[in-house]
Structure 1
Amino acid sequence: MPMMSRWCILVLLALSCPESSGTDAGVKVKITQKGLEYGRQIGIATLLDNLKTIKVPDISGKQDLSPIGDVSYSLTGIEIVDVGLPQSEVGLVPGTGVSLTISNAYINLRGNWRVKYLGFISDSGSFDLAVSGLTISVTISVQSDETGRPMVSSANCAASVGRTSITFHGGASWLYNLFSSFIDDALRGALQSQICPLVSDAINKMNPHLKTLNVLAKVDQYAEIEYSMVESPVISASSIDLGLKGEFYNIGAHQEPPFSPVPFSLPLEDTSMLYMGVSTFTANSAGFVYNTAGVLSITITDDMIPSSSPFRLDTKTFGNFIPQIAKQFPGLKMDLLVKTATAPTVMFAPNNMTLQASATITASAIQPNTTLTPLFILNVDASVSGQIYVTGVKVAGNLTLNTMNVTLGTSFVGPFEVKSIASIFQLVVKVAVIPKVNDLLKQGFPLPAIGDMNLVNTQLVIMKDYVLIGTDVQFTI
């Protein structure tokens, strides 16, 4: 039943989408401080792994130490034993991006030392170096890349090695105090020069994940949703705001609809990690796409009517209201072709979603050789209410018929009173169309998502002109 499924997906989109065709956003996303905190936890784990890869090269040199003169030294086999980032904070830098500050970090190393002095005396041993009070501060710039996806980079970075404590093992103990000052300086410099490049690398490692944003999310063989960013992210003191196109297109034929997104703003909420506003534009762009493709139609046959119903879709039943049908076409089954006359229109009001649709219903008698003989064409204006919910990383919905207004368009069997059969068509829609539509609406349509992102603790509220989704997120690793 492919035609019907197309119509169902359209209605589902009516249950949660926006209006777009220029640079205005059809879908808006707000990342709150709570969301940044979750990102900090993931980022710190990545940075910790990066810092564990610090490679300190062998260090050698010569120092003039009184009273023994020149002392040649070398530090070899230096390796990281442990790294800790116990304290970190994340914040927002308006107009730029995200600030990350790490304090009281520590790095523990071990290695071997060797010295030679007085031209022929040498000594050697091992050492442990504990670096504490390490601080790192970095600003992460958030921008849009050429594909309309978010992109991050290190805008600036500063690292400061705090206190160091060296424990020597082996060798002559009287050398330790002489030796500790220049081994401390050498290792401090080697560490400090590597920290910011490793921080920058950890930040860059986020970009492959950001590139998984579904900027073109396929819905079916006819349509896809574009979620590319229409402008660079807006960074305020409390959130990162993304404007996404949120527009449906025919696959392979991106034609703009004759309407544009209506500007809207997300409320100042911060109890969830992420807020998403999906405006009426997306739903209405879906209607335009599917109507243009000519697939918003459904054929209703008698086997779609519950067997318990006294009403049957045949010329006998309709003959009770239109006698000429029973006389001209006795004992035949009928079908009803429902097809939109114009693209449906979705409206969001507080706690209410309504879809207005204008359609035609062509009633035909099915001849013994399966050919169809048109009986009459009706014009229908219908109003449908919808309930919307989030399932997984999709939006799904459920429909209820509100009202139907039926008028006669064309009759091929002579004049008749449409009012007498209006209740029949309302019953057909309720028992045959709506249940099938709702089964398909359960499949949902994709929301913008990155990688293996899951939505948890999700709430959905219908606002004026858009649907507001508040949610926490989790990434499966």
Structure 2
Amino acid sequence: MTSPFLNPPVPSISMAPLLLFSLLLLFFSNPTTSSESHISAIISSNGIDFVKDLLVNEAVKTMTPLELPDIQKTTKIPLVGYVTMVASDLILYELNVTSSSANLGDTGVEIVASGITADMSMDWSYSYTVGWIKISDKGNASVRVEGMTVGLTMSMKSNNGSLELTVSDVSCYIDECIISLNGGASWLYQGFVNAFKNHIRSAVEKAIIQRVTDGSSKLNALLQKVPKSISLDHISSLNLTLVSDPIYSDTSIEFDINGLFNSSSTKKEANNMWRNYNLKKGLHLSSDCNSKMVVVSIDEVVFNSALQVYFQAGYMNLLVKRLPVQSILNTASWQYIVPQLYVMYPNDPMALNISISSPPAVTVTEEKLIGTLYADVIVDVMDGNNTVPVACIQVEVAASGNLTMSGDSITGAVGLDNFALTLNWSNVGNLYMPLAEGIFRVLLNDVLMPLTNILLEVGIPLPAVHGFSLEDPYIYTSNSALFFCSDIAFSNNTSILFHTLRNVL
């Protein structure tokens, strides 16, 4: 098999809006759901305000122009009699929001936009009859709506592993409606204003409530299309199934996600043993994360499930034919380690066929990440055109390192802590292990560790969200979990995001 160390799969993830923010892809697969959470995503009050501002601003832009139904009213005016009045072509063409707020409760979020002003245009007409004579007139008018307040209360819950949005209340209240008529008989203006002011106010309130309700329904439909799984490559996918309803507090919303890697071929988690683990709650947040918009905690089990998927897929083999010190891969360099080898194959080139014998394990501590790896190294002699396996050595390797952020990518460095050798079998007699350790130290320090660090230096790009960029991201480790936190900002490429939101809202 091709080695992942030589040809590592490169994840390619494009997600758009996690609340929104994961929020706009096609379905992938429906993974097996575990009852435990291994990834938790917390959106702080600062993050909620960011989402609120985005939704409010885009909703305002999509709400205009807003057409209202015609209004007809017959009223009695002294000295005139019964007059039929019609307000038609009512169009609300501009909205301005002075302020907005998002308040978190035990079960949901309340978004309130206040101090809203709106401008409208309309046509008006009237007619009445004096004897056999019918008198009519018409004109146009401008309407100024002031002191409008719009409130939306919604909650989110898990529905079959997806996020479902439910609106419990939508309200709209208008303080003042000022009508300025143009044309027609001025003596009739005040009668028209008195007759239609409350009707126009009521029509605007009803239309706003309906538009907000419709937009919320469309946003909920969009949330249902957020994938429950994302394919990282042809080998693995990441289970994004929600395992519980969001958890609300006064300052944040927490989303608990399965987070385990699945095999893309079987659509199953690597092994049921991972179900025995659960993300430890109540871990101390770094002071650098307290004010960030988004905090994501990833249990060490997530890394181990990924390693197991690639192990089971057979992507942990490595054939070493070249080393910085190439003379090591020659039987002449092994004549004191295993004398019979040099007697049987004098001055022949060699190769080391490395295969991981069990899934590597990662442990996360407050100081660093610690990895343990067991590998079988088969020593091959290249005897002419023949490859002859002559011995198998089991290697136990312990390494550790740290992760850092470089731009929008996770990078890091790893170093060798220690290793141990055990002879599994040999066709060329016993090996002198103290001397063999020198060769394996070169192999680990000069090949495997540098190769791993090259990959880590390149970095793992974080999921790209159309229209957003990370701002001052920070990463650190705690007891059994890795934490990532960041603020969110608009990127230069916001057109796709805004186009999608406007279509939805």
1:100 equivalent to 2:115? Answer no
Matching of residue 423 in structure 1 with residue 443 in structure 2:
no
Query: 2:124 aligns to what?
Result: 113
Q: SS at 1:94's partner residue? A: coil
Q: Deviations over 1:6-37 (max 9, x none)?
A: 99679xxxxxxxxx983111111100001011
2:341 aligned partner, one-letter code? I
Give the aligned residue type for 2:321: T
Q: Indicate the residue corresponding to 1:125 in structure 2.
A: 139
Q: CA deviation at 1:195?
A: 0.9
Please state whether the residue corresponding to 1:140 is helix, strand or coil.
strand
8 A contact 1:351–1:462 mirrored in 2: yes
Distance 2:461 2:216 in 1: 28
- Alignment equivalent of 1:280, drawn from 300, 305, 318: 300
Q: Equivalent residue of 2:328, what SS?
A: coil
Partners of 2:127 and 2:410 lie apart in 1 by 73
| Superimposed CA distance per residue, residues 241-292 of structure 1 (whole angstroms, 9 cap, x where no aligned partner) | 0111110111131043323223312546531000000111111112222222
Give the aligned partner of residue 501 of structure 2.
Answer: none
Cα drift, residue 428 of structure 1 = 0.9
Deviation at 1:473, TM superposition (A): 2.2
Deviation at 1:331, TM superposition (A): 2.5
How high is the TM-score relative to the length of structure 2? 0.85
* One-letter amino acid matched to 2:278: V
User: What is the one-letter code of the residue matched to 2:234?
Assistant: Q
1:66: Cα distance to partner? 2.2
| 1:212/1:450 contact within 8 Å kept | no
Q: Tell me: CA distance 1:388–1:442, structure 2 relative to 1, closer, same or farther (3 Å).
A: same
In the alignment, what sits opposite 1:469?
Answer: 484
SS in 1 for 2:453: helix
1:76-475 equivalence runs, <5 A:
76-95=88-107, 97-119=108-130, 120-146=134-160, 148-207=161-220, 210=223, 213-253=226-266, 254-255=268-269, 256-259=271-274, 260-265=276-281, 266-267=283-284, 270-302=290-322, 305-306=323-324, 309=325, 311-369=327-385, 371-390=386-405, 395-442=410-457, 453-474=468-489
Say if 1:132 and 1:359 are closer, same or farther in 2 by CA, change over 3 A.
same
How far did residue 380 of structure 1 move?
Answer: 1.1
What's the RMSD between the two structures over aligned residues? 2.5
Which AA in structure 1 matches 2:155?
Answer: S
Equivalent residues of 1:210, 1:450 under 8 A apart: no
**For residue 64 of structure 2, what is the aligned residue in structure 1?**
52
Distance 1:280 1:398, change over 3 A: same
Q: Could you tell me how far apart the structure 2 residues matched to 1:228 and 1:442 are?
A: 31
For structure 1, the residue ranges without an aligned partner over 5 or more in a row are 11-19
Alignment check: 8 A CA contact 1:257 1:285 kept: no
Give 1:15's aligned residue: none
CA distance in 2, matches of 1:267, 1:312: 48
- The count of aligned residue pairs is 461
Counterpart CA distance in 2 for 1:461 and 1:398 is 14
Q: CA 1:196–1:124 in structure 2 vs 1: closer, same or farther (change >3 Å)? A: same
Show the 5 A alignment for 1:38-77.
38-77=50-89
Superposition deviation, residue 55 in structure 1: 1.0
Q: Distance in 2 between matches of 1:4 and 1:57?
A: 64
TM-score (ref. length: structure 1): 0.90
Q: Provide Cα deviations, 1:72-103, integer angstroms capped at 9, x if missing partner.
A: 111122222321111111121212x2110111
Query: How far is the alpha carbon of 1:214 from its aligned partner?
Result: 4.8
The reply on whether 1:28 has 2:37 as its aligned counterpart is no
Verify the 8 A CA contact 2:408 2:473 in the aligned structure 1.
no
AA partner of residue 473 (structure 2)? T
Amino acid at match of 2:2: P
Q: Distance in 1 between matches of 2:128 and 2:338?
A: 118
| Amino acid across the alignment from 1:257 | N
Cα distance in 2 for residues equivalent to 1:453 and 1:126: 44
Do 1:379 and 1:406's aligned partners in 2 also have CA atoms closer than 8 Å?
A: yes
Q: Cα distance, 1:58 vs. partner?
A: 2.0
State the identity %.
Answer: 21
Q: Does 1:2 align with 2:18?
A: no
Contact 1:213/1:451 (CA < 8 Å) preserved in 2?
A: no
Greater mean alpha carbon deviation, residues 214-223 or residues 447-456: 447-456
Work out whether residues 337 and 433 of structure 2, in 8 Å CA contact, stay in contact via their aligned partners in 1: no
On the 8 A contact 1:103/1:136 being kept in 2, the answer is yes
Distance 1:449 1:237, change over 3 A: farther
One-letter amino acid of the counterpart of residue 434, structure 1? M
Q: Is the 8 A contact 1:21 1:247 kept in 2?
A: no
Q: In the superposition, relative to structure 1, how do residues 445 and 310 fare at CA in structure 2: closer, same or farther (>3 Å)? A: closer
Pick closer, same or farther for the CA change 1:40–1:428 going to 2, 3 Å: same
Give, in angstroms, the shift of residue 393 of structure 1.
6.2
SS at match of 1:116: strand
Offset of residue 448 of structure 1: 6.7
Q: Is the 8 A contact 2:338 2:429 kept in 1?
A: no
Secondary structure, aligned partner of 2:190: helix
| Residues 471, 209 of structure 1: alpha-carbon distance in 2 compared, 3 angstrom cutoff | farther
Instruction: Give the secondary structure class of the aligned counterpart of 1:246.
Output: coil
**Paired AA for residue 299 in structure 1:** L
Residue-by-residue CA offset, 1:45-89 (whole Å, 9 max, x unaligned): 222023213211222221122232101111122222321111111
- The answer as to whether partners of 2:399 and 2:415 remain within 8 angstroms in 1 is yes
- Residue 298 of structure 1 contacts residue 338 of structure 1 at CA under 8 Å; is this kept in 2? yes
Amino acid of the structure 2 residue aligned with 1:2: T
1:178-220, Cα deviation, whole Å (9 max, x unpaired): 1111121221121111111211233344346545645322233
- Give the C-alpha shift of residue 460 in structure 1: 0.4
Aligned mates of 2:407, 2:239 — CA distance in 1 = 19
Distance (whole Å) between structure 1 residues aligned to residue 236 and residue 49 of structure 2: 36
Cα distance in 2 for residues equivalent to 1:333 and 1:201: 73
Contact 1:6 1:295 in 2 (8 A): no
